[in-house]
Amino acid sequence: MGEQVLKVDADLSAVKEIQSVGGETVKRCYQCATCSSVCPLSPDEAPFPRKQMILAQWGFREKLLSDPSIWLCHQCGDCTRYCPRNARPGDVFASLRLMVTKELVPFKFLNTFYNQPWGLPILVLISFIILFIFTALTFKGVPNFFDAKSFPYSDIYYKIGFLKLPARVVMIDIVFLSLAGFVIVVMANAVSKMWKTYLDYYNIPQAYRYSYGKIISSYLIPALKEIINHSRFEKCGSNSWRANPHKMLVFGFIILFITTGTVFILADIVGMHTPWNPLTHPVKWLGYIGGILLLYGIIGLISGRNKAELQNSLKTSYPDRFLLWLILFVGITGFAIVIFRSIPFLFNLTGVIYMIHLITVFLLFLAIPYSKFSHLVFRTTAVVFDLYYKDIQRKLKSSDLS
């Protein structure tokens, strides 16, 4: 009998797609396995990124998009630094994550805008138009942005039940609560698709396909503890410097989220709109602490990436730069509002800074489904699945032994 020949056809369109979004070095890999050997995060039972590199070279798009391993990689740079062919597996994985993000979400044109330089002015224009329309509606006409008492500190109020809400609060609520609702629906649907793909790809038995409640209680909480502690990040070698600023950035976001929630409750539900002294109010100081941590973290990441690029252990692509600088501008403009409103000769410029800040915050919110910021949700989902799958394997192995 002759040998059976298995013919595999490369999907060149998939290979070109990977190369077009940052994985242009994928064809250099010749499967020496150095990357999997040096990676501190690669598990012995399913080492990456060697397997994913060969799949990428042949264009096995569906297999790659169904693989949680591409999210378990933290792009620490060890594989790239020691690769004898400069195939840059970490950069290829980053391109695969961008492909997954685009595949999971609707309105894919927004994904294109966020990940191409020419899309930035379009995004700024979209956010400005939306904010401008609702500003004009709630302020009963176009306010004078160079008069802080016209915008944002207008004397226009709305009586809603027992509440008396300033126009700026009503405008912010309409725009950002709607945007938050949109982002939550999009991401919930994306995570559901992602989870189902993993279940089918790994052939998880029906008996072990737990409810979302059990997944959250048994695996999400441990995953969040791991992420907050940055236990996987701290294992990285070449770019171990990323762990501390990244952790500070996460803490900054958590504190700012708590601050925003507190302000929403006090201002929009309780109706406390008396002037809050920026120097003495505890909620203000909580926001300052969060802002300082955010700026410390993002400046550390930007400067560290610049050094890492010189060492050839990390490449900062446009999606990386966009998110880093967007977060930086959110922090800078947030503090600028406090400074401008506190200095008499700058007070009337507060409205301009306020609008710029709202635009950056709008872009950051919308970035959650459509940019590298999606890692916040998708990597968390992959870590949860990793913990879940390992637990299922232990249970299946235990049942076989018994």
Question: Which tokens is 386 given?
Answer: 């990793």
Which one has a higher pLDDT value, 274 or 6?
A: 274
Mean of pLDDT values over 273-301: 85
Give the residue extent of every domain in the chain.
12-104, 108-401
Whole-angstrom Cα distance, residue 266 to residue 261? 9
Whole-angstrom Cα distance, residue 30 to residue 7? 20
Which one has a higher pLDDT value, 260 or 281?
A: 260
pLDDT cut 90: percent of the chain above it? 44
Mean of pLDDT values over 89-95: 87
Answer yes or no: is pLDDT of 119 > 90.
yes
Q: Annotate 134-162 with b (16+ C-beta within 10 A) or e (fewer).
A: bbeebbeeebebeebebbbbbebeeeeee
Label residue 274 by pLDDT band (50, 70, 90).
Answer: low
CA 87 to chain centre: 26
120-124, 142-146, 284-288, 354-358: least confident range: 284-288
Mean of pLDDT values over 136-151: 95
Question: Which tokens is 234 given?
Answer: 């701290």
**Alpha carbon of 41 to those of 26, 38, 110, 219, 296: distances in Å?**
20, 9, 32, 19, 26
For residue 390, what are the contacts with CB-CB under 8 A and spacing of at least 6? none
What are the tens digits of pLDDT across the range 171-227?
999 999 999 999 999 999 999 999 999 999 888 888 888 888 889 989 999 888 888
> Is the pTM of the predicted complex or chain greater than 0.95?
no
Mean of pLDDT values over 146-157: 93
Label residue 1 by pLDDT band (50, 70, 90).
Answer: very low
Closest Cα partner for 195 from 386, 394, 396, 393?
A: 386
- The third-level CATH classification (topology) of the domain covering 12-104 is Fumarate Reductase Iron-sulfur Protein; Chain B, domain 2 (1.10.1060)
Answer yes or no: is pLDDT of 3 > 60.
no
For residue 378, what are the contacts with CB-CB under 8 A and spacing of at least 6? 71, 97, 100, 101, 104, 190, 191, 194
Which one has a higher pLDDT value, 271 or 37?
A: 37
What are the tens digits of pLDDT across the range 15-42?
888 888 788 888 898 889 888 888 888 8
Say if CB 318 and CB 116 are below 8 A apart. yes
For residue 121, cis peptide bond before it (omega within 30 degrees of 0): no
Whole-angstrom Cα distance, residue 139 to residue 151? 8
